Structure 1
Amino acid sequence: MLYRSEFYVFDQEQTVPAVIRNYTKNDFDELIQIQKECFPPPFPSELWWDKEQLRNHVDLFQAGALCIEVDGELAGSLTGLCVDFDPNHADHTWEEITDNGYIRNHNRDGNTLYIVDISVRPKYRKLGLGKLIMQSMYHVVIQQGLDRLLGGGRMPGYHKVSDQLTPEEYIHQVTKGQIKDPVISFLLRCGRMPIHIVKDYLDDEESCNYGVLMEWKNPFK
């Protein structure tokens, strides 16, 4: 079942038409360009999407391949796959659980929609698009009858205080609103809850290679 939702977003006081839909092969070049804009160095360029990965997203789990357009321009994307997640064995790397972004391990019988990536073009970030597209993926979780949405959040502000705080202390202060982190604070505003910190989750200097598993539970399960 394909996803399509049309609505308006507000650019200050002006309304702008927007749509959230499944992305297709026609979007691949623009999706790769968005990755470059969203994740500049020191983020590893080899982690940007390539066309083989994007083809797999569309072919293996199109329900989990969403993008958002603003006034006809592609402004961001959100990608997921289904996995069978056991909270008692939560440690994993991004590469392991997403098949390095190729999602060939997508499990149709899995209990969890796992977020591979979210990207919103910098020039559109004041429009609240990330939260809107995340909410759309919650709809997919409900429609698919899954237990939860889960993903590992980068903590790019951590390197600034890593000599003063442990990862656990940092996330505690972000959760309490004492520190603002560009990614974790955003995920909290989307309704996600931190459940576990993973060491060596991703090759990410800003996060000191840590990731925080952030969960949204299906309220109907």
Structure 2
Amino acid sequence: MSAAFIGRTVLASRPDGRYVVVQARTEDAPALEAVQRACFPSLSEDEIATARHFLSHQAHFPEGQLAVLDTATAQVVASSSDFRLRVNFAHYAHAYMKETGDNLFTTHDPDGDWLYGADIGVHPDARGQGLATLLYGARHDLIRRLNLKGHVAGAMPKGYCAVADHLPIEQYVLDVIRGERRDPVLSVQLGRGYGVWGIIPDYLDDDSCRNHGVFIVWRNPAHRPGAR
């Protein structure tokens, strides 16, 4: 076994053992930034998560910070970042930077009853290996373990830029929901059991989705109201 994950609890693994999900640690921060930059080349520099941000995530809510290790190379090849919060579904629209405390997770609420998916990314060289599936499974396991109501996130409809000049975002999202159009991000999340709650204008600064986010929700079927 590589020294890269000796003493680290494996939270999920691919059946062949090639890739494992672990809780991110401080020494992973530079590699997490490298994955982030490879995954989101069109995201503004002000909104990209750097090593400094990943260290802050770990300080505020270590359980929600996940990394995927390639057991053959000991490299971090994917990650996800989450924190707890309370959700007002009547006022779901929000700017990513405000909701995440300028990407530092200072808005984490230890008593929050929802998990907020701030980020998930798989390095382009490792895509097609089922790594996002591993991360989503580990996230849902965390939600069940903490008895949270579910998972929310602002999905980036990254295929919208190709049709934005002639198609309103509302129609684009509806087409994706109906299965009449495929979006590289939103379609995958819908396939994982998430539902669309609404569209978020000015969610972030990324031309691939023309700055839009889509508020998505996964409800924990095992949630026990009142249980701790």
Superposed pair shares fold, TM > 0.5: yes
Return 196-205 or 156-165, whichever deviates more.
156-165
Q: Hey, what's the Cα distance between the residues in 2 that align with 1:29 and 1:107?
A: 26
Q: Hey, what's the Cα distance between the residues in 1 that align with 2:140 and 2:14?
A: 19
Question: Which residue of structure 2 aligns with residue 27 of structure 1?
Answer: 28
Identity, in percent, stands at 27
Moved over 6 A (4+): none
Question: Which residue of structure 2 aligns with residue 153 of structure 1?
Answer: 155
Q: List runs of 5+ in structure 2 lacking aligned partners.
A: 1-7, 224-228
Q: What letter matches 1:124 in structure 2?
A: A
Deviation of 1:8 (Å):
2.9
Q: Tell me the TM-score normalized by structure 2.
A: 0.88
Residues 157 and 6 (structure 1), Cα distance of their counterparts in 2 relative to 1, 3 Å cut? closer
| CA displacement 1:23-63 (0-9 Å, x = unmatched) | 001101111111111111x3213322223211211111011
Q: Counterparts of 1:164-183 in structure 2 under 5 Å?
A: 164-183=166-185
Q: Does the 8 Å contact 1:135/1:190 carry over to 2?
A: no
Q: List runs of 5+ in structure 1 lacking aligned partners.
A: 10-14
Alignment: residue pair count: 214
Deviation of 1:200 (Å):
0.6
Question: Which residue of structure 1 aligns with residue 11 of structure 2?
Answer: 5
The answer to whether residue 206 in structure 2 is matched with residue 204 in structure 1 is yes
3-state secondary structure, aligned to 1:182: coil
Deviation of 1:76 (Å):
0.4
Q: Does the 8 Å contact 1:3/1:63 carry over to 2?
A: no
Q: Hey, what's the Cα distance between the residues in 2 that align with 1:7 and 1:148?
A: 22
Deviation of 1:176 (Å):
1.8
Q: Tell me the TM-score normalized by structure 1.
A: 0.91
Q: Hey, what's the Cα distance between the residues in 2 that align with 1:185 and 1:202?
A: 20
Deviation of 1:189 (Å):
2.3
| CA displacement 1:129-183 (0-9 Å, x = unmatched) | 1122011101111111111100001111112212332212111111222211111
